Amino acid sequence: MSKLTAQLLANFPYNHYADSRSIQRGQAYYKDDRVWDIEVSETQAICEVNGDTSDYTVTIEINKKTGKLAFDCDCPYAYDGNFCKHMVAAGFALKDFLEETEEDYDEDYEEEDEEEYIETPRKPVPPQQPTHFTRQWKNKLDNVFLQMPRSSTSGANAQRYAAFILLEKGQSYYGPGYTFTPYLVKAKNWSILHELADAGPDTLNDLLEKNHSWIHFCEEMYSQTNPAGCLNLSREAFNLLSFLQQYARYFGGANIISNYFSMLAQLGIPVLQANRSRKSVQGRLTILPEPVELQVTFSRQKGDLLLEASLHHQKLTAGVQKAEMLSHNPPWFISEKTIFSLQNPSHIALLQSFPIAIPESEADFFRENYLRRIAEILPIKSDLIQWRETSADPIPRLYLHDDKDNTLRADLRFAYGEYEVAASKNDENQSVETIPGSWDLVRVQRQPFHEQEAYQLLADPVYRLKRAGSAHPYGTFELRARAHPFDFLLYSIPQLTAAGFEIYGEEKLKLGKINRATPSLRVNITSGIDWFDLKTLVEFGDQQISFHDVRKALKRGERYIKLADGSVGQIPEDWLQKYKHLWNLAHETEDGFRVSDFHIPLIDDLLEESATIQIPPDLPQRRERFRTFEQIAPQPLPGGFSGELRPYQKHGFDWLHFLREYRFGGILADDMGLGKTVQVLTYLLSLKE
């Protein structure tokens, strides 16, 4: 069976299993003596490796079937099936360990062989090799000292260097992006840093910015870097950089480090943009620690109007179009050599549009149609524009309109003095308004609390309104499901007016405006032989409509009727009950109704409704006769009649006289053979006499 040898490790093809970065870092671990304990048997070695955040165990053994080396590590990177830097470091350290062990064995064997050859000519017997080798006691003590604070390396004895963060743009698993990685350049490698080592942090940071030759000597910063040797950073700044180094090694990218951009700026840690593969440096970046506000500057250039964007008083013209996002959460951006965050991150999309040049001939159109909209989104800095302030108590206004499906809706707005603003759900404290024909702008100081009061009041069911759906702008209301539009116009509008609302647009509604006049019934009565003709009209103010139309509307269950001018009048609810007998018993004519004498009581309701009804002269007498009627009066039989009438026949004879007296038409009806002819002949004889 094969056993572990230095030669086997020396021939191992690391580049077949690990990427170049892992090999490079593993070699660095090996050189830094991070492999601090090795236990070896004939076919297996167990190595302890000091990682950035923890110690990891690497196992190297001979595969029993193939005789090849197999590596394993308990770090997260290896757990995913990768060949990690700890394996690389352990492999190099184990090779050295085995070489030292083999050399020690060869020396011991040669000494024994030499002594035995001199003393006795016996065949040399090599010593029995133990089953486990343990690394020398000094290596374990070295690890103990490695974990302890090394005060002996402070001051002049420490390795001196300058530390900074390197920003590089490249391609990652998630696509193009930026990486922020802590780097250092050692004074022993960069001669100019060695010469200016005592010049102070500000001078050295300026040196990094102006002299880019350090790009040839820089190397990544590791966790065991001694803070005492840092020439250009305070201890607090170095601690932050060391902390970020842990993130950069395992996560890379800018999203993690972006949480600390403000601290980088406050502590003065240099951030330099470079391309190491091309050995080129773009320069030092400025980090603005506080969120900045995007502004728009207006200026005149050769008569044209020029709109430019600016950040923190730094003009961003062509460079602003190259602004890129460094991180999403929190959102940070880079433009030219500035790293910044915005008070409103969504404004970054606007930067791509600037600068904008507006021809002088179109400046007025821009002012009337775009100036206010820009001022609502972005602050404006310009000598062309003067700002005014206005403050007043809000007056709620409702603008009524109905769409194609005749749904009545109302838009809520607020009047502040001579200016008007739309309802807002964002509790805006101010709005921007323009002054026609002027470049001046007005800041309207709003009162969100009172606006919300009015908004909530409109949703009260008593006003028959509810909030419209999301398809409509905020502040749009519409009728509730069971509310009639005319009920809203007739009853809710006066209530809203009493509550302080101003109402507009009622006269433009397609469904018609409300005629608020109280309806009155106009009647002219003329008499006929045994009837009365009633000419009827209903008046809504100066509008008239046939009483027949009112009757038809009530029969359909409608309480509103459209008038000749397009307005709508409300029919009193009690009319249906009040005039139902008239409509049921009277005969309908072209101009009104015909009422028989015996239906005269039906006219009483009309006379009670209005004292101005025109009546015929004989109507009061005829009404009085019927009012005082108690029974049919008995009539004497004619003298020329010879015979006898039975009692029921006498009642028929009296009834025929009653019809004549009261001018009623009638029918004498009875069974056949009961004397109808006798009654009529007697009646005719009495008339002749």
- Among residues 340, 201, 326, 216, the alpha carbon closest in space to that of 281 is found at 216
Last residue of a domain, one of 232, 265, 287: 287
Domain annotation covers residue 139: no
Which sign, positive or negative, has the C-alpha torsion 334, 338, 340, 344?
negative
Shared domain for 281 and 320, answered yes or no, is no
Domain annotation covers residue 316: yes
Domain annotation covers residue 56: yes
As for how many domains the chain has, the answer is 6
Domain annotation covers residue 637: no
Domain annotation covers residue 22: yes
Domain that holds residue 181: 151-287
Shared domain for 500 and 572, answered yes or no, is no
Q: Distance from CA of residue 393 to its chain's centroid?
A: 30
User: What pLDDT score does 273 carry?
Assistant: 92
| 116-150 per-position pLDDT tens digit | 444 444 444 444 444 334 445 555 555 555 544 44
Last residue of a domain, one of 464, 490, 511: 511
pLDDT higher than threshold 70 for residue 425: yes
Q: What is the CA radius of gyration of the chain?
A: 54
| 481-533 per-position pLDDT tens digit | 888 888 888 889 899 999 999 999 888 887 777 878 888 877 777 776 667 77
Last residue of a domain, one of 260, 287, 314: 287
Query: Which of these ranges, 118-122, 556-560, 568-572, has the smallest mean pLDDT?
Result: 118-122
User: What pLDDT score does 250 carry?
Assistant: 63
Domain annotation covers residue 411: yes
Shared domain for 157 and 280, answered yes or no, is yes
Q: At what angle do helices 601-609 and 619-628 cross, to 10 degrees?
A: 120
| Greatest mean pLDDT range, 53-62, 256-265, 564-573, 674-683 | 674-683
Shared domain for 483 and 532, answered yes or no, is no
Domain annotation covers residue 615: yes
Beta-carbon count within 10 A of 259 CB: 14
DSSP-assigned letters across all residues of 342-388? BSSGGGHHHHTT-SEEE-GGGHHHHHHHTHHHHHHHS-EE-TT--EE
Q: Round to whole Å and give the CA distance between 399 and 415.
A: 12
Q: Round to whole Å and give the CA distance between 139 and 144.
A: 9
Q: Round to whole Å and give the CA distance between 247 and 254.
A: 10
For the chain, give the percent of residues with pLDDT over 70.
82
| 640-654 per-position pLDDT tens digit | 998 899 999 999 999
Domain annotation covers residue 320: yes
- Among residues 342, 327, 338, the alpha carbon closest in space to that of 294 is found at 342
Mean pLDDT along residues 286-303: 85
